[in-house]
């Protein structure tokens, strides 16, 4: 019996839009034919389970219903399965391969993937994970010379960051080595699934996170197509607030290398606030709320714990009395503290001396450190093999030359550093807030950045010496 029987369609809820036809299709249960307007041109064929199994569709969204063992008052969860749905569609990853700066965020990639709207399919997430794993096992057992799916069940590397600190540049450069998800919705939704006081089974949550990354790590195997050949790596850049959940990520993926990108706080605050401050009172901001202040009006009890810790450590004024800019600085400090705490926790629990899974990378070290240090030493991508790797160094250097968010008029615009300009134009309240809330934490990250680099280089030298000595 084939791995995709027609009975599998009963697990599907399809949500598709076809051309100019009237209305959307929502089919629960067996798939039904869409009623179309005969005057319109033929519509594309709807997506199927097989398209997901063969890696042609990408997970773009998840809807979580229940991660509790025991279910809800009206449902049961005796089989210890989470209740969630996943939406997939056809993403044109060649856009990222051609020029990552023009699709710097996953939302850009999705919006420019013309087939995505017409190929959307929503399925039960637990069910599709089991079928995908079964599909991959059968491929391995049959030892097919040309497997249809290349699977990376765990990330090659993950980028956490403060915001406005060069993380998009990192993601663009890493995309030359393989598929890179830059702030895609599913990972952050999975990491946050048990936050905000929601009841949740921790073990079910961990499995859910792993399954989301498993699905996102599957892609068509194009190794026989020389025009589409890429190295088999998958990277993720998580939204900045995801750093508050870095401990959950590491618990689910303890062997995955991660990095935290940081930058001088004055420069970050200027990126967020420049042109939006009416006067030195700072409390009034024009236009939309900057990312650093999205939680500004959230009650103390609902603030991220490390943000409150940063405010407490500053010993400056109570949370309720913070100005807009002061809160932004405390928010950045909270993100950094979350990464520091996780790094120190992992360091304490390492059973033997080995390179740390976490690295702190200062904006000032970019972009050269990506190909000289992080790729070969931290993400442990081999560099001895081939002309392909050396070609990708050139490609990485080329991508790094351009403005990382090259939308519209900024497409293919050469990047010109702005650190000096940000420092010279920062108003006094910005400078004071950075000093009060972040200076000491910044120095901690600088120390961790230096020590982890030294540890990595020492480990590399040790391995080279052992290799030269032989068995």
Q: What is the pLDDT along the chain (471 residues), one digit of tens a residue?
A: 333 333 333 344 444 333 333 233 333 333 444 444 443 334 467 889 999 999 999 999 999 998 986 544 444 445 679 999 999 999 999 999 889 999 999 999 999 999 999 999 999 999 999 999 999 998 888 766 566 788 889 999 999 999 999 999 999 999 999 999 999 999 999 999 998 777 899 999 999 999 999 999 999 886 444 444 556 799 999 999 999 999 999 999 999 999 999 999 999 999 998 766 655 444 445 456 788 998 999 999 999 999 999 999 999 999 999 998 999 999 999 999 999 999 999 988 775 566 789 999 999 999 999 999 999 899 988 765 555 556 678 889 999 998 887 666 666 666 667 899 999 999 999 999 999 999 999 999 999 998 876 666 556 555 555 555 555
Q: What pLDDT, on the 0 to 100 scale, is given for residue 257?
A: 96
> What is the per-residue pLDDT for 330?
98
- Supply the pTM of this predicted model: 0.84
Q: What is the pLDDT of residue 13?
A: 42
- What is the DSSP pairing of strand 233-237 with strand 157-161? parallel
State both tokens at 174. 């890493």
Tokens of 119: 């190929």
């Amino acid at each position: 019996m084939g791995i995709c029987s027609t009975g599998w369609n009963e697990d599907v809820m399809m949500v598709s839009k076809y051309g100019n036809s009237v209305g959307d299709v929502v089919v629960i249960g067996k798939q039904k034919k869409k009623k179309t307007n005969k005057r319109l041109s033929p519509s594309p064929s709807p997506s199927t389970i097989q398209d997901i199994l063969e890696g042609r569709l990408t997970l773009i969204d998840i809807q979580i219903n229940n991660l509790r063992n025991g279910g809800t008052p009206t449902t049961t969860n005796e089989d210890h399965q989470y209740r969630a749905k996943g939406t997939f569609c056809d993403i044109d990853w060649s856009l990222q391969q051609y020029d990552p700066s023009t699709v710097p965020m996953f939302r850009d990639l999705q919006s420019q993937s013309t087939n995505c709207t017409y190929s959307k399919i929503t399925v039960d997430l637990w069910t599709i994970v089991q079928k995908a794993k079964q599909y991959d096992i059968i491929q391995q057992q049959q030892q097919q010379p040309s497997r249809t799916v290349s699977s990376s069940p765990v990330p090659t590397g993950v980028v956490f960051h403060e915001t406005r600190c060069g993380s998009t540049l990192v993601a663009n450069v890493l995309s030359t080595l393989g598929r890179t998800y830059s702030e895609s919705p599913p990972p952050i939704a999975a990491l946050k699934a048990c936050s905000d006081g929601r009841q949740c089974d921790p073990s079910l949550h961990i499995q859910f996170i792993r399954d989301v990354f498993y699905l996102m790590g599957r892609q068509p195997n194009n190794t026989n197509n020389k025009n589409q050949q890429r190295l088999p790596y998958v990277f993720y850049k998580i939204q900045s607030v995801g750093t508050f959940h870095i401990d959950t990520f590491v618990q689910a993926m303890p062997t995955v290398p991660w990095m935290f990108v940081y930058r001088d706080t004055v420069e970050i605050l200027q990126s967020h606030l420049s042109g939006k401050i009416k006067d030195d009172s700072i409390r009034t901001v024009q236009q939309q709320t900057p990312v650093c202040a999205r939680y500004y009006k959230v009650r103390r009890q609902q603030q991220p714990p490390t943000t409150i810790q940063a405010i407490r450590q500053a010993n400056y004024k109570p949370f309720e009395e913070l100005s807009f800019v002061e809160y932004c600085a405390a928010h950045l400090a909270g993100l950094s503290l979350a990464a520091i705490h996780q790094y120190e926790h992992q360091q304490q629990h390492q059973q033997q001396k080995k390179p740390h899974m976490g690295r702190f990378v200062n904006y000032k070290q970019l972009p050269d450190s990506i190909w000289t240090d992080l790729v070969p030493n931290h993400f442990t991508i081999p560099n001895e093999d081939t002309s392909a790797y050396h070609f990708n160094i050139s490609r990485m250097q080329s991508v790094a030359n351009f403005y990382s968010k090259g939308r519209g008029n900024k497409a293919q615009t050469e990047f010109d550093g702005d650190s000096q300009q940000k420092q010279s134009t920062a108003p006094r309240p910005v400078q004071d807030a950075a000093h009060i809330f972040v200076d000491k934490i910044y120095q901690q990250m600088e120390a961790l950045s230096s020590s982890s680099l030294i540890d990595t280089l020492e480990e590399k030298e040790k391995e080279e010496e052992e290799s030269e000595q032989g068995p």
